[in-house]
Amino acid sequence: MTSTENELGHDFWSSKFYDQGRTPWHKQEFHPKLKANLGFFPKTTEAKRFLLPLCGKSVDLIHLYNFCSKWTILGVEFVEQGCRSFFQEQNLEYDVEDKQGGLKIFKSKDGRLQMFCGDFFKMDPDLIGGTVDYVWDRGSLVAISPSKREQYMRVINKLLSPTYVYLLSTIEYDPDVRGGPPHSIPFGDVNTLFEDAQIRILENQVLDNPNDLMKENLFLITEKSPKDVVSYWQGRWVEGQSQWHSNEPHFSLVKYLDKLKDGRDNLTIFVPLCGKSGDLIYLYKQGFSVIGLEGVHCVVESFFKDHDLEYKKEVLPEIKGFKYETLDGQLKIFSCDIFEMQPGVMGQVDAVFDRGSFEAILEEDRPRYMDLMTKILATKFRIILNGYEYDNTVFKGPPRHVDHKVVEEMYGNLGKVEILEATENGTQPQRFNLSKMTKFIYFISRERMEN
């Protein structure tokens, strides 16, 4: 058996690392990625079980143990030395229970922190006392040989409760340039391994490595939603198929900004499904308060990094996402499924620039979209809306067909609808096997209502 094939064996890790005091993966502090995303693991009045597979003597165990008294923290580790070292270094009294098959359970006196020392591939709910609700996989999946990943996932899937939350950290590099562990796991492989789950990329970071290009990815994996459309757009961004994106402000925003302002400068302007659009930075530099909303988390991270904007980031469990905000509070981007947004979280807006949001959502979701708009718009508002009309028996989008009659009906319930432009869109139709596409730019407004 080669060393690669034996990477999940006691001898490999004990002789190569522990016996020589070489544990470069071990960190002395609470892992910053876990700490920053703890909000995705709700504190509840009910007991929860939190698994850290192949945990070594990670201090994440003790931090999670201290964080919530309702959590039972479960580690799985091959090397007994790692288990004993953890309890000794944390000054925790513990008992050791011997099980069949060479398994040992190291357990704190109150039973809330347990480390299972044995073969990970033999773990099952009966052995560890039930299924688990939360998982932090920082160095486990990347540690095992790629040939054993399907076997690993069979174990994981047996251990997960139906409403699990799984935080996964991976690394990605060219395996022809270097080898593991840690092993490279491309985004597509994560999709395959967790094919029945909902996957969100929280971070997609290029590491500063002079020898070869390496990326560190962080995924939030949960039970699959029956209407998960964010995954489609996430895949487009990750695969470099974001042809709609531009770093420059859209011409219709620049051209009709005065109509959007209506003589006012102190406005809050909303840009729905904004991506990392140049519209955001343009409005921000114009001095407006800007609110963006985008479903793909790593795209929002990229926006702030691309523009060297310092920001603070907050997990908002109520919208299953984040709020990113510049230090001056003038620019906020909420990162979540737009239909998880709550008006009370977002607040009221004076104007909306909708370059590609209404035309991106599914037709059946338009009533929900309009319900959000109704709740967040100030009594006096202005909207610039872009949309295409075309033969939707030939092409289904996106961008989706937006009939001007639909706009007049749906937005007409909010205010006055005007068509600012209706132009055939040059050579664009050929991209979609269409003979014609007409681009409409609408202006929707409502004056302050009388009491």
Position 368 scores a pLDDT of 96
Max distance between CA atoms of the chain, in angstroms, equals 81
What is the full DSSP assignment across 5-42? Answer: TTTTSHHHHIIIIITTT--TT--SS--HHHHHTGGGS-
Decide which of 209 and 203 is more confident.
203
Position 354 scores a pLDDT of 98
The conformational region for residue 342 under phi > 0 = left, psi -120 to 50 = alpha, else beta, is beta
The structural domains of the chain, with segments of one domain joined by +, span 10-224, 251-446
pLDDT at 101 over 50: yes
pLDDT at 12 over 70: no
**Residue 26's pLDDT band (cuts 50, 70, 90):** low
Position 5 scores a pLDDT of 42
Neighbours of 254 (CB within 10 A): 11
pLDDT at 260 over 70: yes
**Residue 14's pLDDT band (cuts 50, 70, 90):** low
Per cent of the chain over pLDDT 90 is 75
Position 235 scores a pLDDT of 87
**Residue 13's pLDDT band (cuts 50, 70, 90):** low
pLDDT at 3 over 50: no
Instruction: Indicate the range of 208-217, 264-273, 315-324, 426-435 predicted with least confidence.
Output: 208-217
Contact 359/388 with Cβ under 8 angstroms?
yes
**Residue 209's pLDDT band (cuts 50, 70, 90):** low
Average pLDDT, the chain: 90
How many C-alpha atoms does 384 have within 13 Å on its Cβ side? 22
pLDDT at 230 over 60: yes
State mean pLDDT over 244-270: 95
State mean pLDDT over 196-201: 92
> How many angstroms separate the CA atoms of 387 and 411, rounded?
13
Give Cα 307 to chain centroid, integer Å: 20
pLDDT at 40 over 50: yes
Is 434 in a helix, a strand, or coil? coil
Domains 10-224 and 251-446 in one fold: yes
Per cent of the chain over pLDDT 70 is 92
Tokens 């340039």 belong to residue: 177
Paired tokens of 9: 């064996």
pLDDT at 425 over 80: no
pLDDT at 21 over 60: no
> How many angstroms separate the CA atoms of 307 and 234, rounded?
21
**pTM confidence score:** 0.82
- For the domain covering 251-446, report its CATH number: 3.40.50.150
Position 316 scores a pLDDT of 94
pLDDT at 100 over 90: no
**Residue 371's pLDDT band (cuts 50, 70, 90):** very high
Position 54 scores a pLDDT of 94
Terminal-residue alpha carbon distance, the chain: 81
Position 73 scores a pLDDT of 98
State mean pLDDT over 287-298: 96
Q: Does domain 10-224 have CATH number 3.30.420.40?
A: no
> How many angstroms separate the CA atoms of 48 and 164, rounded?
10
Instruction: Indicate the range of 28-37, 280-289, 440-449 predicted with least confidence.
Output: 440-449
Is 388 in a helix, a strand, or coil? strand
Tokens 């540690």 belong to residue: 143
Position 337 scores a pLDDT of 95
Position 20 scores a pLDDT of 52
Looking at residue 364, the DSSP 8-state letter turns out to be G
pLDDT at 68 over 90: yes
Decide which of 211 and 112 is more confident.
112
Decide which of 177 and 186 is more confident.
186
Closest to 117 in 3D by CA, of 18, 1, 219, 2: 18
Position 314 scores a pLDDT of 94
